[in-house]
Structure 1
Amino acid sequence: MPRKLAAVSLAALLAAAGAFAWTFTAAPLPVPQQAGPALPPAPAQRVQVAVAETGSMESNALFAYRGGSLEKRLFGMDVFVIRHPQGSVLFEAGFGSHLSEHFKTVPLLMRSVSKVHPAELLTEQLAAARIAPADLKGIFLTHSHWDHVGALPDLPGVPVYVNRAERDFIEHGGEATTLARSFGVDRFQLYEFEGPAYAGFPASHDVFGDGSLVLVPAGGHTPGAVIAFLRTADRDYALIGDLAWQKEGVEIPAEKPWMSRNMVDADPETLRGVLVQLHQLQAANPNLVIVPSHDRRVTSQMPRLAAQAAP
């Protein structure tokens, strides 16, 4: 009997291991035949965008999307500096001066498969580019996870904008928003999706009122996750935060493996639909660059935040 029980236990263990391994295998999301919508006509006013690298995290493609390999990937922690005649805004807040302390708020499993590396502080990069915190109109977030809010304590007094669903998530999101909540819920100011449908999404918020920077709701990763559409002189960009960690999530399209999405995605079913929608949108708009916040292969092709000589 003990030998039979051991055999049964081993078989169950092997079956469980096989089922777990299967969750990492390729499983492209089904894409309907109809084409995605075209972006609205380019506005007269355009924005300029530049990337500030605040750090990176080492991990593997295996954990980023279903079908990924053990290939090492550098997950960038990047901030997007957006300039407009009305003023400059930041999108994301990346890593800050308290990275080692902030990293302790990350789930243990994620810490065990990742290694973080700081870069030059965002405040120092802004200073070198002659952008004073007082000159910033605000900071917008695609969502409020720890690696997107790290520099907020380094920029006191700069307004931080989220939508109502995301602020509720900050207040009641438990471990997922421990760090953001520690800055005080009142730090996060609200904007509404008072604008019309945009690029196939049901509503929008036009930051400058001229179509050059438009936010749309795209829940799934977090309840109030958003996409930011930037219209520049050369290209159109869609900043998608962590809807996909790497560009394959949209290009295939493919969701994160079960282990990863179980740790970070609030509503995987909704997110699957958003990934398919982004896949169709990219196919229909060749000039559109879809930018996952952490895919350094994509962000490294964007303009860099450059130091400016003293006047």
Structure 2
Amino acid sequence: MKKFVLWTLLLIVLAGSAALTSSFMPKALPVAALADASLPAATPPPGMSLSALPTGSMESSAGFAYRGGDFLDRRDFSMTAVLVRHPKGDLLFDTGFGRDAAAHRDTMPLLMRSMSKTQFGTPVGQQLTAAGYDPKQLAGVVLTHAHWDHVSGLQDLPGVPVWVDAPEHAFIDSGRPMAALAHQLGPLPLRDYAFGNGPYLGFAASYDVWGDGSVVLVPAPGHTPGSIVAFITLPSGTRYALLGDLVWQVEGIHVPTERPWLLRQMLDEDTAQVRTAIGQIAAVHQRFPDLQLLPAHDARAFAALPVFPNTAQ
């Protein structure tokens, strides 16, 4: 009987190990053709621009970023804010690392910390001020979602409105572990917005921030309850999709594929919703390949952007 139990336990362990290993293997997600094949109209005003503010990075492996990634392929996972300057109001998308980011990092799961090596840079608030830009002139900080590495820099932007949708507002208020830092930094000057505009590139609803199609937010829940994707169109005609943590590297859309099971269980609130949103963005990119994809932690994608205070339209 004892041998039977031991063999049974061994088989369970082996089966679990095999299942975990297989979750890192390549597996592409299905993509349905984009129903509306037209590119939404946009009339971005002269003077509108987009620039990057890098605040640090975390070195890890592509094998942790997406299914099928090479574990020997070391990647810099960027922590970069994006400043969109618009005559009607400047918006900062996410914040990257703040001045106390080393302490903030402790709110991340221990296993995640062990998978990466962190390099802290200059906080976004300090970068803005050093360039003679008063952070108080920002119309707001738009969070793609409220995980620690996207809100750490809020401590350096006191009084600046923080734009979130209702599900993300509730997520922050909950104080749940993955929203712990955003909750601890509070009370934040949260400004709720709603997706009161119509469908946009396969997404059922949208929020056209300035009414000219230049900055359009769409709901992409799953990583967190109120995660979003932001579509930015510049006067040059160049279009960007700020993906937040829908995927961590562009391969997540190009393949397309999701994070390995272990990372999904640690960080995603609803894996089915994440898969759906990945498929939607993949369909958009297949139809419009010139759309520039900006996963929040893909340093290669951000390397193509002008760095603040330089701007490009």
TM over 0.5: yes
Which runs of 5 or more structure 2 residues have no equivalent in the other structure?
Answer: none
Equivalent residue for 1:213? 215
Question: Which whole-Å deviations, capped at 9, do the CAs of 1:13-47 have from their partners, x for residues lacking one?
Answer: 22221111011111101123566633212315263
Q: Verify the 8 A CA contact 1:141 1:161 in the aligned structure 2.
A: yes
Match of residue 289, structure 1, among 288, 292, 296: 292
1:149 is paired with a residue whose SS is helix
* CA–CA separation in structure 2 for the residues paired with 1:34 and 1:126: 39
* CA–CA separation in structure 1 for the residues paired with 2:156 and 2:51: 20
Equivalent residue for 1:223? 225
Deviation at 1:135? 1.5
Q: Verify the 8 A CA contact 2:123 2:156 in the aligned structure 1.
A: no
Task: Note the 1:153-232 alignment, pairs <5 A.
Answer: 153-172=155-174, 174-232=176-234
CA RMSD of aligned residues (A): 1.8
Question: Which whole-Å deviations, capped at 9, do the CAs of 1:234-281 have from their partners, x for residues lacking one?
Answer: 310010100001111111110111000111111110111111111110
Which runs of 5 or more structure 1 residues have no equivalent in the other structure?
Answer: none
Q: Verify the 8 A CA contact 1:125 1:307 in the aligned structure 2.
A: no
Deviation at 1:307? 6.6
Deviation at 1:199? 1.4
Equivalent residue for 1:101? 103
Q: Verify the 8 A CA contact 1:170 1:185 in the aligned structure 2.
A: no
Do the aligned partners of residues 278 and 307 (structure 1) sit closer, same or farther apart at CA in structure 2, a change above 3 Å counting?
closer
2:152 is paired with a residue whose SS is coil
Equivalent residue for 1:27? 27
Deviation at 1:8? 4.1
Equivalent residue for 1:56? 57
One-letter identity of the residue aligned with 1:263: M
Equivalent residue for 1:249? 252
Q: Verify the 8 A CA contact 1:36 1:280 in the aligned structure 2.
A: no
Q: Verify the 8 A CA contact 1:106 1:146 in the aligned structure 2.
A: yes
Equivalent residue for 2:263? 260
Equivalent residue for 1:69? 70
* CA–CA separation in structure 1 for the residues paired with 2:8 and 2:65: 34
Q: Verify the 8 A CA contact 1:193 1:203 in the aligned structure 2.
A: yes
Deviation at 1:187? 2.4
* Residue-pair matches, total: 308
2:118 is paired with a residue whose SS is strand
* CA–CA separation in structure 1 for the residues paired with 2:239 and 2:33: 24
TM-score by length of 2: 0.93
Equivalent residue for 2:15? 15
Deviation at 1:129? 2.8
Query: % of aligned pairs identical?
Result: 43
Do the aligned partners of residues 42 and 186 (structure 1) sit closer, same or farther apart at CA in structure 2, a change above 3 Å counting?
closer
* CA–CA separation in structure 2 for the residues paired with 1:155 and 1:186: 10
* CA–CA separation in structure 2 for the residues paired with 1:30 and 1:110: 28
Report which stretch shifted further, 26-35 or 142-151: 26-35
Question: Which whole-Å deviations, capped at 9, do the CAs of 1:145-183 have from their partners, x for residues lacking one?
Answer: 000000101110111110111101111251010000112
